[in-house]
Amino acid sequence: MTIVKHELRQGRISFLIWTASIGLLLSICVFLFPEMKGEMEGVNDLFSSMGSFTSAFGMDRLNFGTLTGYYAVECGNVLGLGGAFYAALCAVSMLSKEEKDRTAEFLLTHPISRFRIITEKLIAILIQITAMNLVIYACSLGAMTAIGEEIPWNALHLLHGAYYLLQIELAGICFGLSAFMRKGSVGIGLGIAVLVYFLNLIANIAEVADFLKYITPFGYCEGADILTNGCLDGVKIAIGAAICLAGIAAAYLKYANKDIQ
Amino acid sequence: MEAIKTNNLTKSYGEARGIVDLNLSVEKGELFGFIGPNGAGKSTTIRTLLGLIAPTGGSAQILGMDIVKDREAILRKVGYLPSEAVFYSGMKVKDVLKLSADLRKVNCADEAKILCDRLQLDTSRKVEELSFGNRKKVAIVCAFQSNPELLILDEPTGGLDPLMQREFFEIVRERNRNGATVFMSSHVLSEIQRNCTRAAIIREGRVVAFDRVEALSKTNARRVTAYGSAAWNELDGIRDRVDGDGAVSFLYSGDMKRLLQTLSKGDITDLTVTEPDLEEIFLHYYEKDGDRS
């Protein structure tokens, strides 16, 4: 597990910055809830009368007066986007950075198989994403306890679980791309995260584009759907898992035989 | 058993040339030189042998193992010194050395300490703060600390000052005396001439000469330096002529009697006739239409 340890050490600053930022923002959102709750009538009216914008964020089906409704929208924006960016950035550079930073020659001339290198790097990504989600989950719990609200365990588990799966899926896709790239991976990672986010917004606005919900991982993270159904959409998650595994398989197939520059 | 054996090893990059039908044989315990200018295919050969790039034709064995199938087992016995040493930024030298040892699953802290002392390498510094020469020293320790059976050194002295170069070659010779095989690529011919027993010259991806270093240097041509004047223009077989300061110097590969006649007829005050050094032979191999003399 030498490479896992090495990757965790190399990525620790990025991990700390992203985790602290998302955790702090999410906590602030929760701390703002008591104030929002008092003005909820006006807020609900406002949010439900913004046409396409309202449906894009699922606010037509969520009650901002409840912690779960409020948290589903805020969580979607902060943990959804922030987590997606971190997962994409972390994974998309994991293999390509060795060639970009010209450290591949050092790593690959040591007696360690490429299969093992890919596996250990993948484990390092999973550990970082999991650790980030645990810390953020703890931040949310702490903030909810601090404002004296009853913790909506089921909703909290479902929302955080969905966003964790989203990050894993994005990481799988970006990890696969990372094996093909030699430089310029960061822009591609961020681009993919933004793309799948907007695909979901489009699917929310236009009924004709509803199928996009089955392509983008944000499709199974829709707070309104999760809270309404009280569960995650198994079909969408299965499709996401297949896409994720395809990305990981592509990484193994490509990197195992790649000519290293 | 041969330490390195290649059979028509080829690596092509589409239209671009890599290496073509390369046949090399390096005996165990040998100190072998691999000579060629930048772009000739030295690094491509080494990167293919180490499994960084896959051959497109032919085959190669290192210590009896196939470079494609047995990559991991080969690398366990090989120490590699790259021409340009690059490490992970933010790491201290001691962390890089430890990482390298951990990747090899060996504990060679004692050997690393000895090498760092000999090369005067400060292990507490961060790698990105190091000069090119000091980064090279880190790479040397990484390559040598596990006492590998085969050392593959790509342009090993780039960035090292003359004193460090001397110390480095002292270490290389020690390892060689203790049984390690050394495969060293260089475009500094004097390094090869001083340190290697056999060498191959590579040109445009092909081995153009492969022999003992003395044999490669063996040629009928002589470097003639004469002070005074003579009818040099009457001589055939003069190359690389340099005039200056009352002297003329040239490589002569023509008839020796004719040279002596020309000298005796001329007004010569001093004369030296020497064998050309490997550098001159090397240039000879690299003259596009040059024929071996």
The ipTM of this complex is 0.85
The rounded percent of chain A whose pLDDT value lies above 70 is: 91
- A8 touching B, CB under 8 A? no
Q: Which two tokens stand for residue A259?
A: 């000519």
pLDDT given at position A185:
77
- When pLDDT is cut at 50, 70 and 90, the band that residue B8 belongs to is very high
pLDDT of residue A37: 75
Q: What does the DSSP assignment read for B162-216? A: HHHHHHHHHHHHHHHHTT-EEEEEES-HHHHHHH-SEEEEEETTEEEEEEEHHHH
Amino acid letter, residue A195: L
More confident residue, B75 or A34: B75
Asked if B99 lies within 8 A of A259 by C-beta distance, the reply is: no
Residue A247, pLDDT score: 97
Q: Which residue has the higher pLDDT, A46 or A188?
A: A188
Quick check: B103 contacting A, CB < 8 Å?
yes
pLDDT, mean of residues B24-31: 94
Q: Which of A3, A113, A257 sits opposite B72 (nearest CB)?
A: A113
pLDDT in tens, B147-198: 999 999 999 988 899 999 999 999 999 999 999 999 999 887 778 888 899 9
Asked if A111 reaches chain B (Cβ–Cβ under 8 Å), the answer is yes
How far is residue B113 CA from its own chain's centroid?
Answer: 27
pLDDT at A100: 92
- The pLDDT-based confidence of B292 (bands split at 50, 70, 90) is very low
In 3D space, the residue among B103, B56, B53 whose CA is nearest the CA of residue B79 turns out to be B103
Q: Nearest CA to A223 among A86, A77, A84?
A: A77
Residue recorded with tokens 């004719």: B258
Range with the poorest average pLDDT among B69-73, B93-97, B252-256: B252-256
pLDDT at residue B289, as a whole number: 43
Closest CA to A169 of A221, A121, A119, A230: A221
Q: pLDDT averaged over chain A? A: 89
Kindly state the percentage of chain B with pLDDT values over 90: 62
The two three-digit tokens of residue A129, written as one number: 């994403």
Instruction: Compute the distance between CA of residue B112 and CA of residue B91 in angstroms, rounded to an integer.
Output: 17
Q: Is B188 left (phi over 0), alpha (psi -120 to 50) or beta?
A: beta
Q: Are A218 and A197 in contact (CB under 8 A)?
A: yes
What tokens were used for A166?
Answer: 């989203």
Sheet holding B198-203, edge to edge: B78-81, B150-154, B181-186, B31-35, B198-203, B206-212
Of all residues in chain B, the percent with pLDDT exceeding 70 is 94
Q: Both tokens of residue B96?
A: 């890089």
User: Span A15-34, mean pLDDT?
Assistant: 93
CA distance B277 to chain A (A): 34
- What counts of helices (H) and strands (E) characterise chain B? 10, 14
Whether the predicted pLDDT of B291 surpasses 50: no
Beta pairing class for B181-186 and B31-35:
parallel
Q: B232-254, pLDDT tens digit by residue?
A: 888 888 888 888 888 999 888 88
Give the separation between CA B123 and CA B97, rounded to whole angstroms.
Answer: 9
Q: What confidence score (pLDDT) does residue A114 get?
A: 95
Mean pLDDT of A157-181: 95
pLDDT at A48: 64
Residue B91 pLDDT level (bands cut at 50, 70, 90): very high
Is the pLDDT at A193 greater than 70, yes or no? yes
Output the six-digit token pair for B229: 């004047």
B74 pLDDT higher than 80: yes
Q: Give me the count of residues in chain A.
A: 261
Q: Supply the mean pLDDT for chain B.
A: 89
pLDDT at B102: 95
pLDDT for res B50: 96
Nearest residue in A to B43, CA atom: A261
Q: What percent of chain A has pLDDT over 90?
A: 64
* Residues on chain A touching B142 (C-beta within 8 angstroms): 106
Distance CA A101, CA B87 (A): 8
User: Burial, A147: exposed, middle or buried (Cβ in 10 Å; 0-12, 13-18, 19+)?
Assistant: middle
β-pair type (B16-27, B222-229) = unpaired
Positive/negative CA dihedral, B41, B42, B46, B47: negative
- Give the burial string for B224-235 (b: 16+ CB within 10 Å, else e): bebeeebebeeb
3-state DSSP call for residue A155?
helix
- Chain B CB within 8 Å of residue A1 CB: no
pLDDT at res. B38: 79
Confidence at A163, pLDDT banded by 50, 70, 90: very high
Q: Which of A200-204, B2-6, B272-276 has the lowest mean pLDDT?
A: B272-276
Min Cα distance B43 → chain A (Å) is 11
Mean pLDDT, residues A86-105 taken together: 94
Give me the count of residues in chain B: 293
What pLDDT is attached to residue B293? Answer: 37
Please answer whether residues B185 and B161 qualify as being in contact, where contact means their C-beta atoms are separated by less than 8 angstroms. no
pLDDT band at A165 (very low <50, low <70, confident <90, very high): very high
| Nearby residues of A77 by Cβ (< 8 Å), 6 or more positions away | A57
Q: How far is B48 from chain A (nearest CA, A)?
A: 9
Any A CB within 8 A of B84 CB? yes
How far A129 CA lies from chain B's nearest CA (Å)? Answer: 22
pLDDT score, position A50: 65
**Does the distance separating the beta carbons of B80 and A103 come in below 8 Å?**
no
Can you tell me the mean pLDDT for A21-48? 80
Q: What is the pLDDT of residue A102?
A: 92
Q: Which two tokens stand for residue B81?
A: 């010194």
Q: Where are the domains of chain A?
A: 2-256
**Higher model confidence: residue A77 or residue A88?**
A88
pLDDT, position A56:
63
What is the value of pTM for the model shown? Answer: 0.85
